[in-house]
Amino acid sequence: MTFDAIGISGSGLTLHRKWLDAVADNMANANTATSTDGDAFQQRYVIARADGAGQGAYVAGAEFGDPEGRMVFEPNHPLADDAGYVRYPDIDLSAQMGQLIMAQRGYQANAAVVDRAKATYEAALQIGRN
């Protein structure tokens, strides 16, 4: 039981770390400009799936945002086209902050389960020694 809890929470830690990585990458590239003839940075969404045996969760893949992004009129930007437009990713920073908080809380919860399971295992070993 204790080892199951550690394994399940370990998979949750991995999943939430990858989610945090994706959100951090999205936020870091929210203002990345590209020329209009290229694709905008595509935000990444982590797809999570439950293990079929009930032994945790895993990253099943990723979905990506719209490569079209949004066009912004900035005629003085070095990447601006002849009409003065630059392409930016279509990333909502407030939504990304919400995702960041959820992923962080999930990571913290899984870490707490690992700590408690470890303490339980150590207590059981101590009882066995006495």
Domain spans, the chain = 2-129
**pLDDT, average across residues 85-110:** 96
Q: Which of 13-17, 51-55, 88-92 has the lowest mean pLDDT?
A: 51-55
| pLDDT tens-digit series, residues 52-65 | 777 889 999 999 99
Check pLDDT > 70 for residue 123.
yes
Give the CA distances from residue 106 to residues 9, 56, 103, 125, in Å, rounded to whole numbers and listed in that order: 10, 13, 5, 29
Per-residue pLDDT at 106: 95
Q: Which two tokens stand for residue 2?
A: 């204790």
> Shortest CA distance to 74 belongs to which of 82, 85, 83?
85
Q: Which two tokens stand for residue 98?
A: 């919400």
**pLDDT, average across residues 96-119:** 94
Higher confidence at residue 3 or residue 20? 20
| pLDDT tens-digit series, residues 23-40 | 999 999 999 999 999 999
Higher confidence at residue 72 or residue 123? 72
Q: Which two tokens stand for residue 68?
A: 């079209």
Give the CA distances from residue 59 to residues 4, 18, 56, 96, in Å, rounded to whole numbers and listed in that order: 19, 8, 11, 19
Query: For the chain, what is the mean pLDDT?
Result: 92
**pLDDT, average across residues 43-57:** 89
